[in-house]
Amino acid sequence: MSANFQAPDAPGFRLDPRVVASFARFAGGYWTGRTAVQAWALSIGLAVCLLASTGATVALNQWNRWFFDGLEARNVSVITSAVFLFMGIIAMMAAIGVAIVYARESLQVRWRAWMVNRLVEQWLGRQRFYHLNVSGKEPPNPEYRISDDTRWATEPLVDMAIGLVLALAGASAFISILWSVGGSITVPFGGSSIVIPAYMVLVALAYGVIASGLMLWVGGPLVGYVGRKNEAEGYFRFAMMRIRDNAESVALMKGGPYERAVLGSFYDVVVERWMAMVRQHAHLTWITNASGPMIPIVPLLFAAPKYISGDLTLGQVTQLAAAFVQVQIAISWVVDNYNRVAEWYASARRVMDIVDACDAMDRELDARPKTGTPQPGAVLSFSDFEVLDSSGRPLICGSDLTAHPGDSVHVSGDSSTGKSTLVRVLAGLSPSARGTLRMPSAHGVMIAPQKGYLPLGPLRGALAYPEVAAPFGDDDMREALAEVGLAALAERLDEVQRWDQVLSNGERQRLAVARLLLHKPSTVILDDALAALEETAQQALLARLRKALPDATIVNLGQRPPAAGQHDKELVLERTDQAAHLVPRRTRTLADAK
């Protein structure tokens, strides 16, 4: 059974220029607009520090030559001066290092924060998170992409940019040292000799190209293995998250063994792909362990003939060896960062998946017919409307309805007749295919769903939701809680809890009514929002709501017919073979009771 649960395979590393260009346009927005001054200040400051760091390294290289020449000459005065100068160079390098760390990490944190804010704004804006979810077009694990992939798409890029700047600056500086200090060498050949100019530069370039080429050849497949491993780990995290989100259902059905088998299968794939990385990394170690120790020895071997002949001093030999090492570091930058480039690209692509999905959803939303979307108006009304599913099959057909301020409308119907679909139409989430729908201003409409949502944070935040800073006093909140039978919570307004777990279904629905009493919307839509309560409690809460909001339009959707005298109008959803029809029904209404 568990063998059927496998994380999908991930493709090898293929750098798509279109993804790189898209990411550059999106992420490059940090250097424009409101954050431009901050971004450029950090970037330029970091670049200056990097160039200063290269200058300090060159100074240390020159110091090596001076010190070892003095050592060779047994000149105590030069050696003493060199020691004091060395302390100054080290202090300068330490200060530059501190500045680099501060500028680098500040740039990484600020850039990532900007990107997270942009993604969250794009994901939540225009209800895209909802439309992507219900349409099945949402990329897997969007929360992980926003929280973690933004980090791996920014931090390594800054580090690699730093490495590239240092590599270019270092290569330029130290190749010139190899050229000027190493000079040319005369090699006997047959009966004559050959003069090789800048031979230490040629040795450094040849060694770097050969070593880097071997590492690319042997280590190239490692990048694909990293991508496959990351994909498997992502699905393992997703499987655990689903268990946590559905903990009660899994526990009630005693699904622990089944979930354990699924998680075990997912992690078996993680281990398998990790081991593939281990094997490939072992192959690569043959090259790194062979070439690494040779780097400081090779320049000494090639400089030895000129040192023995007296053309080079000991200080010059040590200077050439240090410069050779720096050139190798610069040449091997691409190889050393090849794996990081692959990891960065994988994260950048996952980030752009969300951006592209949001852009595609915008195009789909803009292409929807405007006739079925709610139009502003003083009253709630719709006429001759029809709702279709994604395949064009009719779901709900309706007749005319007009609800004035102060009217109360009840919509009943059996399960799966389309009540929730009608709510989505009234909320503008699912436009109808035809007909006219008018709603009051969106700011005056509040919908209470059957499964009440409570945000993270204190209880006062749950009452003020969805407003971030609603102007409600503590007395108003306590009074609203008491009105709906939650007076016991009145002294816990500042208590931070997982209130969606602390409160029962009925308590959450009572709290949703308290929220309505506080916000006083002009239109209230109850989507089976009192179903967890007994009928007498439902009637009492509806009466309190009606009394507190005498001028509000109330639309109450539920499975059971309303009690007599509670509503001005009643509609019934009746299912046929083709669709559910919204049919007016004449009953003893609130108007009759008056």
- Nearest Cα to Cα of residue 241 among 317, 147, 313, 311: 147
Question: In this structure, are 355 and 385 located in the same domain?
Answer: no
CB 146 within 8 A of CB 123: yes
Q: How far is CA 128 from CA 115, 121, 125, 133, 145, in A?
A: 17, 10, 6, 8, 16
- Any idea what the CATH number is for the domain that residue 530 is in? 3.40.50.300
Question: In this structure, are 45 and 100 located in the same domain?
Answer: yes
Residue 224: domain span: 2-366
Question: Which helix (H) or strand (E) covers residue 383, if one does?
Answer: strand 380-388
Question: In this structure, are 314 and 426 located in the same domain?
Answer: no
Question: In this structure, are 185 and 316 located in the same domain?
Answer: yes
Domain count, the chain: 2
Q: How far is CA 299 from CA 208, 209, 302, 312, in A?
A: 12, 15, 5, 13
> How many Å apart are CA 514 and CA 557, to the nearest integer?
18
Q: For 246-332, where are the alpha helices, taking DSSP H only?
A: 247-252, 256-291, 297-308, 314-331
Pairing of strands 553-558, 408-413: parallel
Last residue of a domain, which of 341, 366, 391? 366
- Nearest Cα to Cα of residue 324 among 162, 184, 182: 182
- pTM as predicted: 0.74
- Any idea what the CATH number is for the domain that residue 126 is in? 1.20.1560.10
Question: In this structure, are 299 and 328 located in the same domain?
Answer: yes
Question: In this structure, are 360 and 406 located in the same domain?
Answer: no
* C-alpha 402, offset from chain centre: 44
For residue 14, give the DSSP letter. -
CB 152 within 8 A of CB 329: no
Burial of 271 per CB tally in 10 Å (0-12, 13-18, 19+):
exposed
Question: In this structure, are 262 and 405 located in the same domain?
Answer: no
Question: In this structure, are 359 and 375 located in the same domain?
Answer: no
Last residue of a domain, which of 350, 366, 382? 366
pLDDT tens, position by position, for the chain (594 residues)?
444 445 555 445 566 788 889 999 999 999 998 999 999 999 999 999 999 999 998 899 889 888 988 888 889 998 999 999 999 999 999 999 999 999 999 999 999 999 999 999 999 998 888 888 888 888 877 888 899 899 999 999 999 999 889 888 888 888 998 998 888 888 887 778 888 898 999 999 898 888 888 877 877 777 677 777 877 887 888 888 888 878 878 888 888 888 888 888 888 888 988 898 888 888 878 877 887 788 888 988 999 988 998 889 888 898 898 889 888 888 888 777 777 777 788 889 889 999 999 999 999 888 876 655 555 656 777 777 777 766 667 777 766 678 888 888 888 877 777 777 788 877 777 765 566 777 776 678 899 988 888 888 899 999 999 887 778 899 999 999 999 999 999 999 999 988 988 899 999 999 999 999 999 998 999 988 888 888 889 889 999 999 999 989 998 888 777 766 677 888 887 777 666 666 665 444 444 434
Pairing of strands 408-413, 569-575: parallel
Question: In this structure, are 401 and 285 located in the same domain?
Answer: no
Longest CA span, the chain: 125
Close Cβ partners of 520 (under 8 Å, ≥ 6 residues apart) = 548, 549, 552
> How many Å apart are CA 273 and CA 294, to the nearest integer?
32
Question: In this structure, are 323 and 466 located in the same domain?
Answer: no
Question: In this structure, are 205 and 270 located in the same domain?
Answer: yes
Last residue of a domain, which of 335, 366, 397? 366
For residue 179, give the DSSP letter. I
- How big is the chain, counted in residues? 594
CB 106 within 8 A of CB 52: no
Question: In this structure, are 530 and 569 located in the same domain?
Answer: yes
Side-chain-side CA neighbours of 308 within 13 Å: the count stands at 7
